[in-house]
DNA sequence: ATGGTGGACGCTCCA
């Protein structure tokens, strides 16, 4: 039994629906997790997703900013939308998918706050918000459901590039929000204390560079190649042996009117798991 | 050292 899931910060789902449709036609993951949909639930382009074979959805949107969504070929149940930091932001949605009988997986889809420019929580409330948000994410691993036969996948734009090989220049980005020690250490600590597995790094060793985001502000993003790995796919330990592949679709950054993030897809062969 | 681009919204915020 195979199962595949894509995470993609789409930076306006309405504007980029044609790209999404092309992607779904080409890759057809079972589940698609989007971030920065930037539209209210009422204006989410659900009809186009249904037409593409994605009849099931868990949407958590808001006007103009943020917004996350899970689209699925398979039924979704136990949909949950959480207000991290109690600010009314739409930055989380989760749901259970059951790729085969008895194999339940809760998918958590996150859009972590970017954190502003100044990496000091004392003077920059956006950075303080980011750190507080991470602290709340830390609690996920303790949830009863995870110990009651439900596996977990956590994806999204986490807005942190934790490893030296997750950025174009470790040295030059040490004081740049997304790669500061407080952020990278916190993220890696959440990962290890929660027994999460970084599936992208299971498949692509830490010795190799991986980028999932390239700034719009570069003159020539491809030539400069100053990317960062801001998008992630984690799982509970029980799912890791079932990982079959990870694909980072870098070509998507070169599509017409692209998102600044590219889609990342994990494929599983569930029979090989415990 | 600075400003560069892109999206939503509505004359500015956020990334």
Domain boundaries, chain A: 2-269
A53 touches strand B (CB under 7 A): no
The architecture (CATH level 2) of A2-269 comes to 4-Layer Sandwich (3.60)
A159 touches strand B (CB under 7 A): yes
For the question of residue A166 being annotated catalytic, the response is no
φ, ψ of residue A60 to 5 degrees: the values are -140, 95
A176 touches strand B (CB under 7 A): no
Per residue in A56-96, pLDDT tens?
999 999 999 999 999 999 999 999 999 999 999 999 999 99
Is residue A100 within 8 A of residue A93, CB to CB? The reply is no
Question: On chain B, which bases lie within 7 A of the protein's CB atoms?
Answer: 3-9, 14-15
For the question of residue A198 being annotated catalytic, the response is no
pLDDT, residue A273, reads 46
pTM of the model: 0.97
The DSSP H or E segment spanning A258 is: none
pLDDT, residue A272, reads 45
Query: Rounded to whole angstroms, how far apart are CA atoms A9 and A192?
Result: 25
Per residue in A42-62, pLDDT tens?
999 999 999 999 999 999 999
Q: Which nucleotide is nearest to A126 (CA to C1')?
A: B14
Q: Which residues of A are documented as binding site for Mg(2+)?
A: 9, 36, 157, 159, 260-261
φ, ψ of residue A200 to 5 degrees: the values are -65, -35
CA distances in angstroms from A19 to A5, A8, A10, A49, A218, listed in the order given: 17, 12, 9, 12, 22
For the question of residue A179 being annotated catalytic, the response is no
Residues of chain A scoring pLDDT < 50: 272-274
- A103-111/A227-228 β-pairing: unpaired
DSSP state of A65: S
From the CA of A221, how many Å to the C1' of B4?
Answer: 12
Query: Rounded to whole angstroms, how far apart are CA atoms A71 and A50?
Result: 9
pLDDT, residue A248, reads 98
């Amino acid at each position: 039994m195979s199962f595949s899931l894509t995470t993609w910060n789409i930076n306006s789902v309405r504007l980029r629906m044609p790209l999404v449709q092309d992607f779904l036609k080409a890759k057809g993951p079972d589940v698609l997790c989007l971030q920065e949909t930037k539209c209210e639930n009422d204006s989410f382009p659900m009809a186009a997703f249904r037409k593409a074979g994605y009849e099931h959805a868990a949407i958590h949107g808001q006007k103009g900013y943020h917004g996350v969504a899970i689209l699925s070929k398979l039924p979704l149940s136990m949909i949950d939308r959480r207000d991290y930091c109690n600010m009314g932001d739409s930055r989380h949605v989760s749901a259970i998918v059951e790729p085969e009988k008895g194999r339940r997986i809760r998918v958590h889809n996150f859009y972590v706050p970017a954190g502003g420019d100044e990496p000091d929580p004392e003077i920059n409330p956006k950075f303080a918000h980011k750190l507080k948000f991470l602290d709340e994410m830390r609690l996920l691993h303790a949830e009863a459901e995870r110990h009651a036969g439900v596996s977990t996948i956590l994806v999204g734009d986490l807005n942190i590039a934790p490893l030296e090989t997750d950025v174009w220049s470790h040295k030059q980005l040490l004081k740049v929000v997304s790669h500061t020690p407080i952020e990278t250490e916190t993220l890696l600590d959440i990962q290890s204390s929660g027994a999460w597995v970084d599936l992208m790094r299971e498949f692509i060793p830490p010795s190799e560079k991986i980028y999932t985001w390239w700034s719009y502000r570069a003159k020539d993003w491809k030539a400069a190649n100053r990317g960062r790995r801001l998008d992630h796919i984690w799982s509970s330990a029980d799912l890791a042996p079932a990982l079959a592949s990870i694909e980072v679709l870098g070509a998507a950054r070169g599509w017409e009117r692209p998102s600044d993030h590219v889609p990342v897809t994990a494929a599983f062969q569930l029979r090989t798991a415990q």
